[in-house]
Structure 1
Amino acid sequence: MSECPHVPGLPRPEPAADSDTCLECRAIGSDYVHLRMCLSCGHVGCCDSSPHQHASRHFEDTGHPVMRSFEPGESWRWCFVDQTIA
């Protein structure tokens, strides 16, 4: 499988502050399932199994194409544009 065309040239962002939680969920007092980190800016949001799907909303708001799992021991990436593992 070839690499997603949106991956090359991505910056290597540091996770945003307080990256051990979804800040949007914390602000509204909601729980989340898993965390995802944007590979364009480092935003950390909750996954699509979470009630508010903040990682996907971040893509919709910014157009940043690729995120990765921010769970311990996981390194997979997802391209929102191509809807495929990146």
Structure 2
Amino acid sequence: MDIAELKLELIAKIIATNDVVLLNRVKEIMDSYEPNTAVNEPTLAYEKTRFFSTEEQRRINLAVQQYENGECISDEEAQKEIQEWLED
């Protein structure tokens, strides 16, 4: 059984139980656990952080604001418009 299967099995058992004492014990164990990622989980050999320029961040913020204001169309609508443009 790999780690993903084990996690799913434990989650299923937790969901299925109504034993408050058991659930509190599991919570105590999980709360006190300090993961050792070097052993169980693979780490990324290379991680790159992307920083946006002032102009890029301004455009991102504008796009988010437009989305929040409902100033957008669905992908389906955009595809229809593109198809119409291509047909002309």
Question: TM-score, normalized by length of structure 1?
Answer: 0.20
**Higher alpha-carbon Rg:** 2
Question: TM-score, normalized by length of structure 2?
Answer: 0.20
Q: Which structure has greater strand proportion? A: 1
**Larger RCO, structure (CA 8 Å, separation 6 or more):** 1
